[in-house]
Structure 1
Amino acid sequence: MSVLEKLSSQSAIALEEKYGAHNYHPLPVVLNRGEGAYMWDVEGKQYFDFLSAYSAVNQGHCHPRIVNAMIEQAKTLTLTSRAFHNDMLGRFEAYITSYFGYDKVLPMNTGAEAVETAIKICRKWAYEKKNIPEQQAKIIVCENNFHGRTTTIISFSNDPDARKNFGPYTPGFIKIPYDDVGALEKVLIEEEHIAGFLVEPIQGEAGVYVPTDGYLEKAKALCEQHNVLFIADEIQTGIARTGQILAVDHEGVKPDMLILGKAISGGVYPVSAVLANDQVMEVIKPGQHGSTFGGNPIAAAVAMEALQVVKDEELADNAHRLGTVFREKLGEYIKGSTIVNKVRGKGLLNAIVINDTDQSDTAWNICLKLKENGLLAKPTHGNIIRFAPPLVMTEEQLLECVSIITTTLKEFEV
């Protein structure tokens, strides 16, 4: 079979089923083109994208400026490894540190790599700056977190699918309830050798759980009081998704370490980063951490253009404005609904909670019907449907999508 041969949806799905590991359960749709807020399947049907590749495509599909930055850089130099300097890395490092207000950046490729990087830096800082005894540093995390699926990260997950039969697990983590300042304070007082607190400003994969106003600010103050690093995982919530450039900006919080990924490249190329000031980042010396592809010239060019697009097109403001409209419209519908309990979120990171158990297939069936009606979304944790369209969406498009969603939900009302 030629790689250029046109495939039907059925044929493409059959190939994945036969030759691919079954580590995902995607909706039965086969996509081959995207532009802005739209995607098309191999049969030519158009859909609104309401997942944005888990918020990686905030700038819209195939943004011409970002794609062009990748193409132009690919024509000259793609990869040097970090054995040599290249003429793009320093520019990117200066750009991104200025953009977010930090002294240093350590570039990587994927979100999970960036989280692992932050964990390593935090531990090394604890031993060399805080003088915690070697091998005893602990990092506080939150229940129902999602920071990736590496062996270390799943060690502090409480998702049985992520954990079961992947042990033995990595020690050194303490789990506390999310959005519970008292629980954080209790651990900081009672436990020795705490190095850091790793937290998502909004728990996306858990179902778009937005913490109580003031939670992040109070958590950061407690970390400062106890000389503990406040580490914000903004891989999904960052880059304008929640109506601010970063979700922590809603409370004016400056993390000691900031973890970025996904939309840092507009979904065009894998790029991630950890940012921190010198007092933290200087603990990393040559040979102690790295990646062949981390900070490569294409990644640098793509990330700079992707971040500039966010500013030039004022995507944070658009996310804030349209998110308010979305929650208002869905909230009006929910008042008379028997199938939906609530809508929650910030900016254009939102979710609806289906009036059913998390073991049911109602949310999945709703997403199948949404697909038929021209909108792509995906359930999370059984009875929750996440809605996160590209931030380039217009109000007219958003209202059309609200109409699709409410019309679909009506088919499931009792």
Structure 2
Amino acid sequence: MGVLKKVLFALSCTVLAQSAHAQQVSDNVVKIGILNDQSGVYADFGGKSSVEAARMAVEDFGGKVLGAPIEIVNADHQNKPDVASSIARQWYDTEKVDAIMELTTSSVALAVQGLSKEKKKINIVTGAATTDLTGKQCSPYGFHWAYDTHALAVGTGGALVQNGGNKWFFLTADYAFGYSLEEETSKFVKAKGGQVLGSVRHPLSTNDFSSFLLQAQSSGANVIGLANAGLDTSNAIKQASEFGITQGGQRLAALLFTLAEVRGLGLKAAQGLTLTEGWYWDQSDENRAFAKRFMDRTGRMPNMIHVGTYSSVLQYLKAIQKAGTDATEPVAKALHEMPVEDVFAKKGKVLPNGRMVYDMYLFQVKKPEESKSEWDMYKQLAKVPGDDAFLKASESGCQLTQ
């Protein structure tokens, strides 16, 4: 065989191999949708920065899987389950999206997971918290990354009860996430010997917490649990400071508060808060290197939602590679079987109900004089082992584990 024929033969083999791989990928492209709040109360919590994290994962994977290109699409669900469901349905039916991820806001995540189950499509949640996602509303194609209300209750709730915060009153966001977070934390507070003196529910994205804070202030509680997130938590903390609540001896427990919100609030207002996150940029050289790349692209340091989204996209692509196809059933099987080992999680594991288990961390927000740089905001108080932080699958209420 001449040199030219050998070259042509090698090229034809390469084309055939790539074609064979592409045939294992539906529509010859892997399309991932990032659906979250990009303009409302949780826009800093995840938002466009989560989209950028997803793009980083695609780039780090190499831009293709099984010879097919990978595409990221994104949309703003406005924290409305009906809007999210409409977008998800269009993505699945018309735009041939293979999987939907991030899904900030528990009511939205539950709605989209229900639709994904019906359509036999994979969804991976990083931005929502309710344990129902891997409990009574679990799905064989649904996965929960990053954190949930049980992990937050074990971390922040447990630490405060053990340090004298034994009488609680809750300010709770009036939707599924808030109810779940209050319920989980209440169980843990009572199990540790504490009391729950009462609660009050506030509308999502309210600007006026005065009446709610006055009820909390007069409750006799020594801890006010903020079962909300994003700007709701920030505004509650600001107004609590104006009312002199912390100066009067009551402590605030920010049950879901991340680096993005601490940065927005500022160390002067946030100092002393205890919170639970699954990742912090200054924990290791690997984290610092990733955070620098992220900062160069977004102008901010990432929180656990951003890095969790990176991890979930990366793991999904690894699962396609392992399965040899992007078909839902074999990819879901691979996701359940594969360990999670990346910048976000070490020795992570996925339970039969779809819950990804990894270590969480309890942090305290630094005082302004303790901070050495703009994003130096946390000091680590404790590591919460994953098996302690998250519910066992057998205790979750998921029918898949029966």
Q: Same fold (TM over 0.5)?
A: no
TM range, normalised to the smaller chain? 0.3 to 0.5
Task: Give the structure with the larger helix fraction.
Answer: 2
Q: Which has the higher contact order (CA 8 A, sep 6+)?
A: 1
**TM-score normalised according to structure 2 size:** 0.33
